Structure 1
Amino acid sequence: MRPMWNIFLLGLLLINFGILQPEYPTDVEKIDLQLDEEEIAFTFLDLPNGECTIIQTSEGENILINTGSPESEDELLHYLKIYGIDEISDLIITSPDSEYTGNLKYLVENIAIDNLILPNSMSDAKLGKETDWWGKGTKSEPVKDLKVLVLNEDYSKKKHLGMDLLLEYNDTYLLYMTSADKEVENRLIRQHDLSFVNIIKVGDFGNDTGTSKKFLNACDPQTAILFHKETTYGKSMVLERLKETWLDLYQTSQKGNITIKMKNGYYHVFTLTLDTFQQMS
């Protein structure tokens, strides 16, 4: 007997996602997020190790933030197929660590990418493709109404630093943290009003060197997204701090792919496990 939770989730997904059935049995089924005009979707992928976020617009534009670890290549390519991504308008990397760049070279060589965006800390990267370099204070609008501000750009594997972004789409704010460092967090609190943040992507997979109680209180998000890494120091303590803030916590390792659809200052969260997708297909 199928668990009731799966039945509820399946019904929810059938309402909100269109599943395009394959014309031939060998084709890969695709997920149509059925975006309304002026609606945008952020999908945080459930990878075995590392992080990748897909941003899709109603105009058919696709943005990727990071590429997962090398061990996640098969899963990443599978997800790109089922979400119908064969061209990327912008590929943004927030850290040179392998959990973020593991499949960068493959994507550059095998998928059409209009713009490759790397942090200044990766200035020695040689990928054979023209690159835009982002540093602290860089502002961009990669697609209509999606505004990106680089809050911090630095790198230290030892100190768990990377490029931290504030993304805003029609008054919905996503704080995309890569760093897990209390000094960085304190500086961001001093330099920016973050009290309007709606969603936070937790830095460095929940490493306890960051995501402090003080930082969470300053941001006061309603929703948190946490990617999976095979080993993360102090993750349980970060989870405890997140739960104490009474926000809605979504972990890819538990919920599968997490999609947030935004429009007109509102957002909705949907989850999709690979098992559920296979049932729907």
Structure 2
Amino acid sequence: MHKWKVLIAAIILVVVFTSNPLFIRASSDIDIRTILKDEEDDVSILFFDLPEGESALIHTKDEFTVLIGTGSEASFDELSERLTRLGITVINQLILPKLEDTYMGGVSRLLDERKVEQIIVPDQGLKWFSESYQEYKIDIISWEEEGLYQPHPALQFSVMESTSSMMPALNLDVDIGCGHRLFLANEASLELEKEWMTKDLSTVNVLKVAEYGTEKGTGEDFLVSSDPEVAVIFNLHDHTVSASVRERLQETWIDTYETKQHGTILIKVNETDYELLTIRF
């Protein structure tokens, strides 16, 4: 069990982590931006509760911002509202782990609305994406499978193995420089998980479950090998998370959070610990 430092107004309480984390409802009189500016935190990670699709924000103490996915086109208004409430006007890197609507449907509107300095896509999709978005004259690069990239001193991304399908994906093992680890699985495949398990995954803290919790992936062997404390599942319209996946997560004692049920999942990381909060805003 981990201990979680929970900030409520000016009172700091140290509590044992349970399945009921601190919940914040960000009403109009609360400046949600202060959540990202805690001097004790090195990195904040938000998994947004969009109506459909995946979008996560990584924000460092010195204001370096990485947005991973935009959610679907139909969800962009909700994403835009959350970025505005957080005070995010510049995105240093936009990572698109899959070139599908529920991962990148809001790209055009995001580029029209905010400054994006660089876009990162799977290597196999670079040519198509560059041609499709050449009008924006933005820096577009690809990350290669098994490549290692460090866009910021506190963030190191390892690109894990992918399938050789027509729909390339970036499966990302993210090392937070203060000693924590995030695994962003974007392909649900038991065979692919066997390849991932050839790496040492034992220090993974948080797992982003692949493909909205479909039964095709998130196998028991992979969960035992990585042994994360927390799993996050994004919402897909008219999709139900596999009962088998839920059961496997429960049986391996992983605290599971679904954005549809819990809202935005915020993980605040410092050198010694991390805390998890759920937010509705």
Matched with 2:19 is none
- Residue 35 of structure 1 and its aligned partner are, at CA, apart by 2.6
Matched with 2:34 is 32
Match of 2:220 among 213, 219, 226: 213
**SS where residue 186 of structure 2 aligns?**
coil
4+ runs of 1 displaced by more than 3 Å?
Answer: 11-17, 19-22, 153-157, 231-234
Matched with 1:8 is none
- What whole-Å deviation, never above 9, does each CA across 1:75-128 have from its counterpart, x for those lacking one? 011001001111101100100111101101221233111111111131211212
Compared CA separation, residues 51 and 145, structure 1 to 2 (3 A): same
Compared CA separation, residues 64 and 193, structure 1 to 2 (3 A): same
- Report the AA paired with residue 193 of structure 2: E
- Report the AA paired with residue 172 of structure 1: H
**SS where residue 162 of structure 1 aligns?**
coil
In 2: Cα distance, 1:243 partner to 1:211 partner: 12
Compared CA separation, residues 49 and 20, structure 1 to 2 (3 A): closer
1:204 aligns with 2:230: no
Give the percent of matched residue pairs that are identical in Structure 1 and Structure 2: 29
CA contact (8 A) 1:118 1:133 kept: yes
Any gaps of 5 or more consecutive residues in structure 2?
1-5, 13-23
Any gaps of 5 or more consecutive residues in structure 1?
1-10, 23-27, 275-281
In 1: Cα distance, 2:168 partner to 2:120 partner: 18
Matched with 2:171 is 164
Matched with 2:20 is none
- Residue 137 of structure 1 and its aligned partner are, at CA, apart by 1.5
In 2: Cα distance, 1:96 partner to 1:153 partner: 14
Aligned ranges for residues 24-173 of structure 1 at < 5 Å? 30-33=32-35, 34-36=37-39, 39-123=42-126, 124-125=128-129, 126-128=132-134, 129-154=138-163, 156=165, 162-169=169-176, 170-173=178-181
In 1: Cα distance, 2:184 partner to 2:219 partner: 15
In 2: Cα distance, 1:152 partner to 1:99 partner: 21
In 1: Cα distance, 2:203 partner to 2:212 partner: 23
- Residue 167 of structure 1 and its aligned partner are, at CA, apart by 0.5
Matched with 2:247 is 240
Across the two proteins, how many residue pairs are aligned to each other?
A: 256
CA contact (8 A) 2:41 2:268 kept: no
**SS where residue 173 of structure 1 aligns?**
strand
- Residue 58 of structure 1 and its aligned partner are, at CA, apart by 1.4
In 2: Cα distance, 1:73 partner to 1:185 partner: 31
- How well do the aligned residues superpose, as a CA RMSD in angstroms? 2.5
Aligned ranges for residues 171-190 of structure 1 at < 5 Å? 171-190=179-198
- Residue 266 of structure 1 and its aligned partner are, at CA, apart by 1.7
CA contact (8 A) 1:120 1:153 kept: no
- Residue 271 of structure 1 and its aligned partner are, at CA, apart by 0.7
Match of 1:230 among 225, 237, 255: 237
- What whole-Å deviation, never above 9, does each CA across 1:1-50 have from its counterpart, x for those lacking one? xxxxxxxxxx9564588x7977xxxxx95432133266110000000000
Higher relative contact order by CA 8 Å / sep ≥ 6: 1 or 2? 2
In 2: Cα distance, 1:207 partner to 1:260 partner: 24
Compared CA separation, residues 226 and 98, structure 1 to 2 (3 A): same
In 1: Cα distance, 2:191 partner to 2:261 partner: 30
In 2: Cα distance, 1:163 partner to 1:182 partner: 16
- Report the AA paired with residue 272 of structure 1: I
CA contact (8 A) 1:189 1:218 kept: yes
**SS where residue 137 of structure 1 aligns?**
coil
CA contact (8 A) 1:118 1:134 kept: yes
Compared CA separation, residues 224 and 234, structure 1 to 2 (3 A): closer
